[in-house]
A = this chain, B = another copy of it.
Amino acid sequence: MSIIVHKYGGTSVGDPEKIKKVAERVKKAKSAGYDVVVVVSAMGHTTDELIELMNCVTENPDPREYDMLVSTGEQVSAALLAMALQTAGCPAISLTGGQAGVVTEDIYKKARIKEIRLDRLKKELKDGKVVVITGFQGIDSKGDIITIGRGGSDTSAVALAAALKADVCDIYTDVDGVYTTDPRIVPDARKIKYISYEEMLELASLGAQVLHPRSVECASIYDMVIHLRSSLKDDEGTYIMSPSRIAKEAGKMEKTEAVRGIALDDNVAKIGILKMPDKPGIASQLFGALAKEKINVDMIVQAINSQGTHADMAFTVEKTDLKKAVEAAEKVARVLHADKVVADADVSKVSLVGVGMVSQPGTASKMFGALAENGINIQMISTSEIKISCVIKAEQGKKAVKVLHQAFGLEKVS
């Protein structure tokens, strides 16, 4: 029998009424003839409430005890959903990550899943039951409870779907899919029907927080189709799959659209170090110092000045890291006898994402042209095979998204 995996996030199981609605949806899939495995997150704000309790007890929580504590949230929602299913006349059983055979590395709080032992799970499915599994957790070799990092329920679901060779992993959430850009900025943003793993990863890292990046990575390794959809509607959402599957589904040999989506990231700040002596090792000194402070650096641009003796270096960090980053940069600047360090938190990053860009070389110039025509000055540019990002003034961020969405015709179904 075909196996299908459903994953429901915290909002979808936020209260008993919502849990009953989820039960109805799961029952429908079961009645349609599927073997159904359901992965659930903790109800609503449960995890945050547990962490609040923890913060009252300790400032420096032991990771092992943290996992012991927060894993209870999923256990509650899994048991409640199993009860709701039974009450709806659908045989069901809840399993903890450990009971479901999810074995992780021996690392608390952010382990990776090592393997999934399917014996118990398969037995319960064979008995005709829907199996409800606590997301976000497993056990290690000692039998300790391990969580796999926040947002990890998506990853649990995909890993279970892959292990069970499920047809599809349905991830239900409070949005109904991935859009060409944020519909709050561009009202005629279009829901994307198919998107590749790579594009989804880029969009996720650019602030489209509908899906945990690790789950996308995991899906791409096992070629598992993710169907991201709303738990409130029956409509199809967005299918995240390999480019080859997309081509097959869309019935096209070659991609037509270069740009799949546009993302705006406001949580960005720019730092420049001016007139560094241009000699080998300066980049490694600078970014080594930042890494030591655990500061995530995103874009990096190095320009050589006309004399070729000095380099100007610019990079972006998260806004919250700006102060720490400037301090670290200033230390390095002193050692290297650079001219000075400048910082600007008043910037945004607008990005085009699409796997087709690599074969359509006009995309970058079209982007720069559209921005220039609309009086938007570009401060930094960085490109990859499937992404072009520009740092611009923060106040022009939304305008830039609108301009680009129209310039690339994203409102039109391709």
* Residues of chain A whose beta carbon lies under 8 Å from any beta carbon of chain B: 15-17, 19-20, 50, 53-54, 56-62, 64-66, 68-69, 71-72, 75-76, 78-80, 82-84, 86-87, 93-94, 96, 98-99, 120, 143-145
Contact = CB atoms under 8 A, between A and B. Distances in A.
Nearest to A98: B143
Contacts of A98: 143
Given A72-B76, A86-B62, A57 B19 contact: yes
A72 to B, nearest CB: 4
A19 B57 CA distance: 8
What are the nearest 9 A-B pairs in CB distance? Answer: A16-B56, A69-B79, A72-B72, A68-B79, A58-B87, A58-B83, A65-B79, A57-B84, A65-B82
Contact of A20 (B57, B65, B84): B57
Given A16-B53, A65-B79, A82-B65, A60 B87 contact: yes
Given A76-B53, A144-B99, A84 B58 contact: yes
Nearest to A81: B57
Contact of A80 (B60, B69, B99): B69
Q: This chain: how many copies in the complex? A: 2
A358 B57 CA distance: 52
Contacts of A84: 57-58
Contact of A87 (B59, B71, B96): B59
Given A56-B16, A69-B76, A72-B75, A83 B99 contact: no
Contact of A83 (B20, B65, B71, B79): B65
A61 B76 contact: no
A15 B79 CA distance: 25
Contacts of A57: 16, 19-20, 80, 83-84, 87
